[in-house]
Amino acid sequence: MRILLSRITAALVFYKLKRRMALLTALFAFLYHLPQVYKWLLKPYYIASLFMSVAFLLVRKTPGICEHLSTQREDGNSCDFDWREVEILMFLSAIVMMKNRRAITIEQHLGNIILFCKVANVILFFRLDIRLGLLYLTLCIVSLMTCKPPIYMGPEYIKYFSDKTIDDELEKDNRVTWIVEFFANWSPECQSFASVYADLSLKYNCAGLKFGKVDIGRYSEVAKKYRVSTSPLSKQLPSLVLFQGGKEIMRRPQVDKKGRAVSWTFTEENIIREFNLNELYQKSKKLGKTKGEKFERPSESVFAPVPEEEEPEAETITAMDTESKKDK
């Protein structure tokens, strides 16, 4: 019995130490990246968004202003939230938690928080005073037009296509496999995915495997040709398409019969697994060693080709007619 108790005690002590080490590791990692976080958050977009997100809180809690506001509290304290405002804020917190379950980057987490905080502020201000609601809505529109989210400017091995270069580049060398992202600058999902796609290009770019991007918000003809919808309702942005020999092999997300994208999370792990990047990279990097040799089309592909509808071949029908004549 004593031995069992001692083992349980030792296991509990080990668990507590392990948990503390995990917390310390996370704390040290945060402190190490703290200068970069400060530099990132001090951009005009995040400063303006932070102010807009806490605007109602500041108005409701600031002495000298809150005394002149209306309230539904029984004690008449206009400098504190009433029960309806607390209900709205709790509902907002639940929505943010649900949306952030699918977020994969810090930008997506912050984007969801900022978006729903602004929506809650609009509702709260209009409920408090229609004049304050119109003023806040005007400020939101002005900040949206003047302060745009920062674009990813880090290192990457990505070639940017236009409507005139994409076809020639994809068909230029049949030995090269291309992974192309179809994106739009106005899409928050595309902006959040930019850093993930850049990291993949740094890890897997080689002579036989290349990464490209094309802005279908700018080149609408490319969107039509490659069947990628730019409508926000279709949820097809961003779309990743793999090309081998100039032909599409696979894409994510897939599209159903109604033209809507099948739900898929753009994490680095999902992309590596679905596109089989590790095996594809090992086969593609050999191309750099054999570029001087005579080109032969690879006999095997990592992926099965996209099935296409085939018409009955005339040669097969002719052969069947010949055999029937011989039998006669």
Per-residue tokens: 197: 């796609």
Residue 300 included in any domain: no
H/E stretch holding 101: none
Do 142 and 163 lie in one domain? The reply is no
Measured CA to CA, the distance from residue 129 to residue 297 in angstroms comes to: 70
Pair 63, 138 in one domain: yes
Same domain, yes or no: 232 and 269: yes
Q: In angstroms, what CA-CA distances link 146 with 49, 141, 196, 241?
A: 12, 9, 26, 33
178 within some domain: yes
Residue 114: is its pLDDT beyond 70? Answer: yes
pLDDT tens across 249-274, in order?
999 998 888 777 888 888 889 999 99
Domain assignment present for residue 86? The answer is yes
Domain boundary among 120, 146, 172: 146
Look up the domain containing 84 and give its range.
Answer: 43-146
What pLDDT does residue 312 have?
41
Structure tokens at 63: 């002495």
| Token pair recorded at residue 318 | 């002719």
Which of 146, 174, 197 delimits the end of a domain?
Answer: 146
Render 236-253 in DSSP notation, one character per residue.
Answer: --SEEEEEETTEEEEEES
Residue 276 sits in the same domain as residue 180: yes
Strand positions, DSSP E, the chain: 158-161, 177-183, 209-215, 239-244, 247-252
* 191-229 confidence digits (pLDDT tens): 888 888 999 999 999 989 999 999 999 999 999 999 999
Question: Hey, which of 80-94, 154-168, 304-318 has the most confident mean pLDDT?
Answer: 154-168
Residue 251 and residue 274 share a domain: yes
Q: Which residue has the tokens 């989210």?
A: 149
Q: Could you give the CA distance from residue 225 to residue 249 in angstroms, rounded to a whole number?
A: 15
The better pLDDT of the pair 108, 256 is held by 256
Last residue of a domain, one of 123, 146, 169: 146
The tokens describing 9, both together, are: 């005690």
Residues 87 and 205 placed together within one structural domain of the fold: no
Could you identify the residue written with the tokens 């010949």?
322
Sole residue written with tokens 């992309």? 271
For the chain, how many structural domains are there in total? 2
Please report whether residue 241 resides in a domain: yes
Strand partners, 180: 212, 241
Nearest to residue 109, comparing CAs of 98, 118, 120? Answer: 98
Cβ–Cβ under 8 Å, residues 175 and 208? yes
Q: Would the pLDDT of 123 be above 50?
A: yes
Is residue 128 pLDDT above 70, yes or no?
Answer: yes
- CA dist 153 and 44 (Å) reads 16
Q: What tens digit of pLDDT does each residue of 36-92 get? A: 555 666 778 888 888 999 999 899 888 888 888 888 877 788 888 888 888 888 888
Q: How confident is the model over 269-293, as pLDDT tens digits?
A: 999 999 999 999 988 877 665 554 4
Residues 63, 122 within the same domain: yes
CATH of the domain at 182: 3.40.30.10
Summarize the chain as % helix, strand, coil (round to 5): 55, 10, 35
Residues 186 and 285 in one domain: yes
Q: Which residue has the tokens 């005339």?
A: 314
